[in-house]
């Protein structure tokens, strides 16, 4: 037999491997059947789960429903202390609106025109 020479390179032990083999079971266990109510509850919880994206989307929807969408003044016609016509452009397109006390604010929140939106979506 031949002799084996051992040479020590370092006092430290070798580094452990970072990759660990995952054990995979080939046999899948039978999943219990879930009811429609349980599935609907899981879906509802997934939608309202406290995540930043879902809360931001819910906040934007709440602002649109309660206050409207922002619009900017494009043209106006005023005579004396009262304005006759104010035209705004925004998310809903060009719209006419008079502000409080017959004035034309530069930026305003106009309520959503649900009838026109419904016509566009469903016709």
Mark 51-64 as b/e (b = at least 16 C-beta within 10 Å): eeeeeeeeeeeeee
Q: Please report the pLDDT score of residue 25 as a whole number.
A: 65
Q: Please report the pLDDT score of residue 21 as a whole number.
A: 72
Question: Does residue 92 sit within a domain?
Answer: yes
Indicate the number of domains in the chain: 1
| Residue 90 token pair | 């925004």
Residue 71 confidence class, pLDDT cut points 50, 70, 90: very high
- Distance of CA 55 to CAs 47, 86, 91, Å? 10, 34, 21
Question: Does residue 108 sit within a domain?
Answer: yes
Angle between helices 36-48 and 52-66 (to 10 degrees): 80
Residue 2 confidence class, pLDDT cut points 50, 70, 90: confident
Question: Does residue 87 sit within a domain?
Answer: yes
Q: Please report the pLDDT score of residue 70 as a whole number.
A: 92
Once rounded to an integer, what is the mean pLDDT over residues 88-103?
Answer: 88
- Provide the whole-model pTM: 0.53
Please give the Cα distance from 78 to 104 (Å, whole number): 9
**Which residues form the domain of 88?**
72-123
pLDDT at 29 over 80: no
């Amino acid at each position: 037999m031949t002799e084996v020479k051992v040479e020590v390179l370092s006092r430290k032990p070798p580094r452990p491997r970072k990759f660990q083999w995952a054990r995979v079971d080939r046999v899948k266990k039978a999943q219990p059947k879930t009811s429609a109510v349980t599935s609907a509850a899981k879906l509802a919880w997934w939608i309202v789960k406290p995540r930043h994206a879902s809360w931001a989307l819910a906040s934007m929807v709440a602002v649109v429903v309660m206050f409207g969408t922002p619009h900017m003044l494009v043209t106006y016609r005023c005579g004396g202390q009262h304005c006759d016509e104010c035209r705004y452009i925004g998310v809903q397109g060009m719209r006419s609106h008079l502000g409080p006390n017959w004035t034309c604010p530069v930026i305003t929140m106009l309520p959503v025109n649900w009838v026109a939106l419904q016509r566009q979506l469903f016709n």
